[in-house]
Amino acid sequence: MKNKRVRVRFAPSPTGPLHMGGVRTALYNYLFAKKNNGDFLLRIEDTDQSRYVEGSEKYIVDSLRWCGISPDEGVGVNNSITDSGPHSPYRQSKRKDIYRPYVEKLIRSGHAYMAFDTPEELSEIRDKSKKAGNPNWQYNSITRASMKNSLTLSAEDVNNKLLSKTPYVVRVKMPHGVEIKFHDEVRGWVSVNSVNVDDKVLMKGDGLPTYHLANVVDDHLMEISHVIRGEEWLPSAPLHVILYDYFQWERPIFAHLPLLLRPDGNGKLSKRDGDKLGFPVFPLNWSHPETKETASGYKEFGFYPEGFVNMLAFLGWNPGTNQEIFSLEELVSSFNLQKVSKAGARFDYDKARWFNQQQLRIRDESLLIDEFVNSIKLKYGISIQNEWAKKALYLFMDRAEFMNQIVTDCYYLFEDPVDYDSKMVEKKWSLNAQLWLKDLAHIFSKTSYSSDEIEASFKNYLNSNSLKFSELGPVLRLAIAGKTQGPSIFTVMELIGKDISEIRINNAITTLN
């Protein structure tokens, strides 16, 4: 184990879109792999065909790609939905035949057995047990003696059932009263008595393995060194551990990550929370293939992958320094499992937005300009030049957390105001204001219409008429932008130019009369 190559895997089930908690698990796996010059694999755990949702695999691959954490091996390498790597296939439904010999091996060694109890029989016994006051009946080291399985039935009976193709499942034979202990990288030693672990189904009636068997076999075959997954797996970790022991395989190192909790207090963040909580829970937009229900994603919401990833990384981990803004590369070099916290992390959308705002600040200028130019074209149908775009962009950037916010906020660079902030009109607009504006329009027209000159002549006008800025400034802004807050109105006027500025001043005078 010591000098083994680090190989980790993210193993989602294609039952729908990946939510942010899943993305974080993938991210930590990726960071850990890269930090240790190891491999990050994506394996699809689709052993339950009844829960398969069309499009989820592509969604998972697309999401990881958007975050910049694409796998080195498995499904989604080179952005392809097909898989590649030395252990192909990486979809458990395609590995069906691989598992059977291992199940048989377990049966031969006495660590597993066939059980012929039907689902109906089992649910009946559970119901009965519940009524009798036991809310949780388990198929385990005690109860299996009274069930229909290869341990209780005669060899002949078993053979007959097999010959008559009676459906059966294979269950693990858990030892009775053994302390199962394993070390978890984030939690330390975890210990459970085997009486509390039931005889989990390893292979289902349909011949497909359950998650528990498939994940252990695949992790071993794929030479996974560390299993990094969510805390919801902690209760079944003892089962996995004992399976490794039964197979006489070296156990991987386990690390169970704290859960992402809902901001409103109770429970883990789940897919069903959708947009109900006022923020996306998915990385990308998702629309359900059948119900056509849609859920919004961080990407479409306006988050940069860098901001999203940075935010996610800090939900349950921190570098131990005061630095909070990290690039993916920086995260890779700082990451380690010892710094992962144990308690669940409540998601805070305010902080999430702040992370994106910080990305906006440090983002490469040419990138920002491109994004801005394209968005303006898309939203307003107007093509703008880079020089002009740069000025407009930085004029509005300070008060935005997202690029799309900038694009929305600067609308009056492209559209004349249709209405005016009525409260401010009442407060600042007057007959005098109209006269002053007329004067100003005339005065401005004699300048070069640069921000500086407009401002200088404006202040000049204030002086010579003994006016205060607060008397005239808002009036001018109202005429130009329709509202009274925003960036320098003089720069806005420079950007929209003399003609439009004059039209707006005239419009305001006629409209607000």
Partner RNA sequence: GGCCCGUUCGUCUAGCGGUUUAGGACAUCUCCCUUUCACGGAGAAGAUCACGGGUUCGAAUCCCGUACGGGUCACCA
Contact at 8 Å (CB) between 142 and 134? no
Asked whether position 70 contacts RNA by CB under 7 A, the answer is no
Among 477, 501, 504, 505, binds RNA (CB under 7 A): 477
Asked whether position 175 contacts RNA by CB under 7 A, the answer is no
Among 6, 125, 234, 512, binds RNA (CB under 7 A): 234
> Could you tell me whether strands 201-203 and 169-172 are parallel, antiparallel, or unpaired per DSSP bridges?
antiparallel
Which of the stretches 104-112, 219-227, 261-269, 385-393 binds RNA when contact is defined by CB under 7 A?
A: 261-269
193-232 footprint of RNA as x/- string (CB under 7 A): x--x-x--x--xxx-x-xxx------------------xx
Asked whether position 68 contacts RNA by CB under 7 A, the answer is no
Distances (CA, A) of 292 to 58, 276, 289, 299: 17, 17, 6, 19
d(CA 128, CA 115): 20
Q: Which two tokens stand for residue 224?
A: 């996974």
- Contacts (CB under 7 A) with RNA, residues 408-467: none
Is the Cβ of residue 72 or residue 117 nearer to RNA in the bound state?
117
Beta-carbon contacts of 267 under 8 Å, excluding residues fewer than 6 positions away, are 261
Catalytic residue chosen out of the listed positions 268, 271, 390, 483? 271
d(CA 379, CA 188): 53
Closest CA to 217 of 244, 178, 253, 197: 244
Among 55, 68, 175, 486, binds RNA (CB under 7 A): 486
271 included as an active-site residue:
yes
Asked whether position 356 contacts RNA by CB under 7 A, the answer is no
Compute the least distance from the CB of residue 406 to RNA, in Å: 11
Compute the least distance from the CB of residue 115 to RNA, in Å: 8
Compute the least distance from the CB of residue 383 to RNA, in Å: 27
Compute the least distance from the CB of residue 327 to RNA, in Å: 17
Asked whether position 316 contacts RNA by CB under 7 A, the answer is yes
Asked whether position 494 contacts RNA by CB under 7 A, the answer is no
> Could you tell me whether strands 188-193 and 179-184 are parallel, antiparallel, or unpaired per DSSP bridges?
antiparallel
**DSSP letters of 66-102?**
HHT---SEEETGGG-SSEESTT---BGGGGHHHHHHH
Compute the least distance from the CB of residue 204 to RNA, in Å: 4
What is the separation of C-alpha 52 from the centre of its chain, rounded to a whole number of angstroms? Answer: 20
Number of residues that bind RNA (CB under 7 A): 81
Active site residues: 271
